[in-house]
Amino acid sequence: MHAMSGVAVIPRPVAVTSGAGALPISADTEVLADRDSAAAARLLASWLPAAAGPARRPRPLPPAPAPRRAPAPPGAIVLTTDTTRTDLGDEGYALSVAPQGATVTGGTPRGVLWGAQTLRQLLGPPGTATTLPAVDIVDHPRFAWRGLHLDVARHFFPVPFIERLIDLMALYKLNTFHWHLTEDQGWRIEIRSRPRLTETGARRAATPLPQDRTQTDDTSYAGHYTQDEVRRVVAYAGERGVTVVPEIEMPGHSQAALASYPELGCTGSGYEVATTWGIKSDVLCAGRETTFAFLEEVLEEVLELFPGPFIHVGGDECPKQAWRACAHCQARIASERLADEDELQSWFIRRMAGWLGGRGRGLGGLGGGVGGAAWGRRRRATMG
Ligand SMILES: [Zn+2]
């Protein structure tokens, strides 16, 4: 712990050795980076004191192996990706600050990004740093999945807020943003083949009062992200090493979808975007093929927007009243030789996991309907 004194980094790096002195930081401090580290260099440059004149630009390093490169100018910060540093793993980095200059080396571009975020913490608030403390850090994460979940369906947040959140996630090296985009209380992502999802499903007539959930405010509440906005967020996250996992709920938590396309429900009519919290008994019909055609159309667009390995489908909290009373759902139970409605829920999720698997993606979900198998198996495979 003694070696940690004077260096405050969250989460705590694997190894920290404080050195003597400090590296002066000024508007003249240069940032140099090889091609693979250019994204990290652009971010780092934005956190340094503003250079006079045109915006500060990182300088590219010549593409020679590090030992044969000319020495960096005094006082510069040099970022490099060294794929021979397999000891650092997928996300690790080595960072060294001395009075003569600083280096960040990652085994991958993502490792360099995390090293840059450590420098950002050492720099303090943007543009205020005058020195960096001399220190040697070697760091790699304990956990491959470091996530933050945000439900924008019940409470909508605009894109600048989302970007700020992702930027702060990256500051703390959280690498997975779980974006909960659909719910009973609102559908928040534009689907071009199904425009009513946002024309109708993105607006609810009222919202429960924070101080008394049994009462509502009778105020219309709406918001959604266009596909261009989604692309912007995914790109912004990607530049910071953050993967976005979209959550598209099924078969429960789908009342906003039912309000938009009532034929997706067992009774086929009478749905509205929910104005109260809690688990809703109106769910997607598991008997009709139109439900799966709908989900596949939606997910085709979602897959194009989100390049990450996982799509989260919720999958839990699916009351069975509607399925029990539905001839289509009962016919499905019979034709698939399922024991009951619980098995129908598992069949539903397995079917969607199979569809996603055929497109190279993993399904994430919660609770008994999913059984954890799809998510867990896929994650181990991805991480192994
Ligand atoms: Zn049904």
Mean pLDDT value across the chain: 91
CA 249 to ligand 1 centroid distance, Å: 17
Give residue 128's pLDDT: 80
124 pLDDT exceeds 90? no
Residues with Cβ within 8 Å of 188's Cβ and at least 6 positions away in sequence, in order, are 152, 153, 156, 181, 182, 198, 202, 223, 224, 225
CA 306 to ligand 1 centroid distance, Å: 30
List, for residues 292-319, the tens digit of each pLDDT value: 999 999 999 999 999 999 999 998 899 9
C-alpha pair distances (Å), 286 with each of 86, 136, 229, 345, 374: 47, 57, 32, 8, 19
CA 97 to ligand 1 centroid distance, Å: 63
CA 332 to ligand 1 centroid distance, Å: 9
CA 253 to chain centre: 20
384 pLDDT exceeds 50? no
Answering whether pTM is above 0.85, one says yes
233 pLDDT exceeds 70? yes
CA 193 to ligand 1 centroid distance, Å: 23
Lowest mean pLDDT among 25-29, 172-176, 353-357: 25-29
Residues 176, 8: Cα–Cα separation, whole Å: 23
CA 348 to ligand 1 centroid distance, Å: 12
CA 318 to ligand 1 centroid distance, Å: 12
Torsion of CA 352, 354, 357, 359, to 10 degrees: -70
CA 291 to ligand 1 centroid distance, Å: 9
Is pLDDT larger for residue 48 or for residue 111? 111
Per-residue pLDDT band at 5 (split at 50, 70, 90)? low
103 pLDDT exceeds 80? yes
- pLDDT (mean) for 321-345: 97
| Among the listed residues 259, 229, 71, 86, the one whose alpha carbon sits nearest the alpha carbon of residue 162 | 229
List, for residues 143-164, the tens digit of each pLDDT value: 999 999 999 999 999 999 999 9
CA 85 to ligand 1 centroid distance, Å: 55
Give residue 53's pLDDT: 46
237 pLDDT exceeds 50? yes
Give residue 3's pLDDT: 46
Give residue 372's pLDDT: 46
Ordered structural domains, the chain, with CATH = 2-139 (3.30.379.10), 147-383 (3.20.20.80)
Give residue 378's pLDDT: 42
CA 267 to ligand 1 centroid distance, Å: 7
The Cβ of residue 87 has, within 10 Å, a number of other Cβ atoms equal to: 10
